[in-house]
Amino acid sequence: MKLEGLFEPSNSDEIFSFYHNGYLGIDVANGTLVCIRNINTKENLFTNNVLVFGFDIHNWRSCELSGNQIKINTNDPRVPYIAIESRRASILFEKISIMRNQNFTYPHSFPGWVDVKAQEAAEARGLNLIPIKY
């Protein structure tokens, strides 16, 4: 999902969580975040249900840190927050907090771009993409 000028996180700004079936990447230069979560069930640990969020600096409410967990509070009442754990959570939280105080502008809808790319990837891989309202 990386694209020059829109979403280019460095390796140190990405979290891959096998236990929580998740990914969080932040691009501090462009003020964008992408989170991908596999939604598992009691019956099946690895389902084809996937949530993909693309955030620019304007379409999320707040970010919290608790131990090794980053929690991003969204603007969607169906998914009020997303959380991911990592031992690097504190440094990523600080970077997100600094990003929040920058004046980023976006010529196009970053969440819309992520939605399009996520739909293309889901169709190619036979996944069920769960729609998100920003």
CATH number of the domain at 79, please: 2.30.29
Parent domain of 85: 11-128
Q: The whole model's pTM is what? A: 0.82
**Residue 85 within a domain:** yes
Given CA atoms 1, 7, 22, 48 in this order, what sign does their dihedral have? negative
**Residue 40 within a domain:** yes
**Residue 4 within a domain:** no
Q: Report the C-alpha gap between 36 and 54 in whole angstroms.
A: 9
What average pLDDT does range 87-104 have in this prediction?
Answer: 93
pLDDT of residue 121: 86
Domain count, the chain: 1
Look at 62 and 131; give whichever has higher pLDDT: 62
Buried b (16+ CB within 10 A) or exposed e, 33-46: bbbbbbeeeeeeee
Residue 4 scores a pLDDT above 90: no
**Residue 5 within a domain:** no
**Residue 1 within a domain:** no
pLDDT of residue 134: 54
Predicted confidence band of residue 76 (pLDDT cuts 50, 70, 90): confident
**Residue 78 within a domain:** yes
Look at 77 and 116; give whichever has higher pLDDT: 116
**Residue 43 within a domain:** yes
* Percent of the chain surpassing pLDDT 70: 88
**Eight-class DSSP state of 115:** H
What average pLDDT does range 38-65 have in this prediction?
Answer: 78
Residue 40 scores a pLDDT above 80: no
pLDDT of residue 16: 86
